[in-house]
Amino acid sequence: MGFPTFREAATKGLAASKKSWRNAKHEGQWASTMEAYAFPYIGDVKVNDITGPMIGWSNG
């Protein structure tokens, strides 16, 4: 089976965390943040292939 992509892992993680959020709005906020800022850069990368420099774009 192998490692999931970041998008697959994040989607699964968001679904698992859903019950702990105070309201449904949080799910939409997290999902849209991932779509806008993370998925365009590392969404299709396998989680085991993600390196520090790949996520350094968020440091401005």
Which tens digits make up the pLDDT trace of 1-52? 799 999 999 999 998 988 888 888 888 898 899 999 999 999 999 999 999 8
What residue numbers bound the domain in which 5 lies?
1-10+20-42
Query: Is 49 part of any domain?
Result: no
CB atoms within 10 A of CB 6: 22
CA distance 37 to 20: 23
What local confidence, expressed as pLDDT, does residue 27 receive?
82
Residue 58 counted as domain residue? no
32 in a structural domain:
yes
Q: Is 3 part of a structural domain of the chain? A: yes
pTM over 0.75: yes
Query: Domain for residue 54, yes or no?
Result: no
Higher-confidence residue: 50 or 60? Answer: 50
